Amino acid sequence: MANSLKINVFLVPEEGQRFVFSEGDAWFQGRFRDDEKPGFFLEKIDVDCLITVTSGTVFIKGSFSALIDICCSRCLERAKLPIGSDFTYTLIPAKAETREDLELTPEELETSYYQGDFIDLTPIIFEQIILQIPMKALCSEECKGLCPNCGVNLNTSSCNCKLNVVNDRIAVLKNFRIKK
């Protein structure tokens, strides 16, 4: 378990500093308030990145792979999904006149700022994890989901519900024809 993900910018050697760590769900869940816990668990994350510093500008180039435990959007069963990504960040020292309400140029959108002698990798890695969480997680592409009538999991059993059940509110449209 990593003690600290803070890097002293001024102690990074000229050839760069490799940073490798592995963490689990306790580290990840600790980033949330109790009333904001996500709907998934992070089983494990492995991060490998190279940090270089040139004239005070910090360049971070890395990758991560993780395994998450999340509910399938179709059948609501727990699923373990691999996620991962390569990432790059450019951090420059914050100036006194740097304000958040200034309009940013396209180049500045890819740049972040840091203050003091240390940078913390925790929010960078946390952001990368969140960006890779699928909007609709599936246990498999072939997942059949739940029966819309009786709610049985169609992956593990079948039901006798009719597939052509018509909603009473739109039944009147069943015989509607448009004349040409």
Segments making up each domain of the chain, as ranges:
6-143
User: Residue 4: in which H helix or E strand, if any?
Assistant: none
Alpha helices in the chain (DSSP H): 25-29, 122-132
Query: For the whole prediction, is pTM greater than 0.85?
Result: no
pLDDT of residue 3: 47
Within 13 Å and on the Cβ side, how many CA atoms surround 130? 12
Interval 128-145 mean pLDDT? 92
Cβ–Cβ < 8 Å for 112, 60 = no
Q: Please determine, for residue 158, whether its predicted confidence score (pLDDT) is greater than 90.
A: no
Q: How far apart are CA 85 and CA 96, in angstroms?
A: 33
Q: Please determine, for residue 6, whether its predicted confidence score (pLDDT) is greater than 50.
A: yes
Q: How far apart are CA 127 and CA 69, in angstroms?
A: 18
Interval 1-8 mean pLDDT? 68
Cβ–Cβ < 8 Å for 66, 91 = no
Q: Please determine, for residue 33, whether its predicted confidence score (pLDDT) is greater than 90.
A: no
Q: Please determine, for residue 2, whether its predicted confidence score (pLDDT) is greater than 50.
A: no
